[in-house]
Amino acid sequence: MKIALVTGASSGMGREFAKQISARYSKFDEIWLIARRTERMEEIAAEIKLNSRVISLDLTNPEELQDFKQLLETQQPDIKLLVNCAGYGATGPCEEIDCDTQLGMIDLNCRALTAVTTLCLPYISSNSRIIQVGSAAAFIPQPDFAVYAATKAYVLSYSRALRTELKSRKISVTCVCPGPVNTEFFDVAGTKVKFLKKMVMAEPEDVVEQAIKDAALGNALSIYGKPMKLAYIAGRFLPHKLLMKFF
């Protein structure tokens, strides 16, 4: 059974990945949708062409990750495309964000992404793709978004190393690093979108289309839009101490 698997599929970019994968990869037998909000995923499942399996999971719950492991063991799928999209961010000074929220970001953005990838790896065959949704926040440390940016730096570093490890198995890993995207992310982050971010805000349809194209081409990175490409170059060549004043 050839499948695509998308985490964070109940909204935003994950939802868009589900739609676009379904439209583009009709040869897959199923698409597995993972998130906590079952009804949202059922709505998406009803909208898309591919057969969908709605899997309600809190990826930060170790027992529910065990359930996922067991599901893989029972179903033995051939995962042709894995998209790790579940994630959240909280803005504000570290002193003001409560400890659970800060650790929750690490649990979901790093720990759960690593767990899902590791659990899926035995079921990913050659000529398959992994898409890890990172963020442009990975490029430069970000005061008032410190833990979130650090989790995304982890995703970027992990994805690049994993890509090298999996080359011999002909599995490509693409890290998607968007700037601000118009999703529920900012409602969850509990923040008003700043003017600069509004100016460069992208639509999830465009970011996901670019990401799927980049993954199909086997690219290591998918960075949508000129402003974020510039941020990437700046992050590589300019002192972070200076850049942190602007971001």
Ligand X SMILES: NC(=O)c1ccc[n+]([C@@H]2O[C@H](COP(=O)([O-])OP(=O)(O)OC[C@H]3O[C@@H](n4cnc5c(N)ncnc54)[C@H](OP(=O)(O)O)[C@@H]3O)[C@@H](O)[C@H]2O)c1
Q: Which parts of this chain interact with ligand X (CB under 6 A)?
A: 8-14, 35-37, 40, 57-60, 85-89, 108, 133, 135, 178, 180-181, 183-185, 188
CB 72 within 8 A of CB 83: no
Rounded to a whole number of angstroms, the minimum distance from the CB of residue 239 to ligand X is: 23
Structure tokens at 26: 């009709």
> Closest CB to ligand X among 124 and 223?
223
> Closest CB to ligand X among 14 and 77?
14
Measure Cα distances from 72 to 66, 203, 247 in Å: 10, 33, 41
> Closest CB to ligand X among 100 and 126?
100
Looking up tokens 């989790």, which residue turns up?
A: 151
> Closest CB to ligand X among 9 and 45?
9
Rounded to a whole number of angstroms, the minimum distance from the CB of residue 60 to ligand X is: 4
Rounded to a whole number of angstroms, the minimum distance from the CB of residue 137 to ligand X is: 7
CB 148 within 8 A of CB 235: no
CB atoms within 10 A of CB 32: 24
Rounded to a whole number of angstroms, the minimum distance from the CB of residue 27 to ligand X is: 25
Number of H helices and E strands in the chain, helices first, is 11, 7
Give dist(CA 34, CA 86) in Å, integer: 9
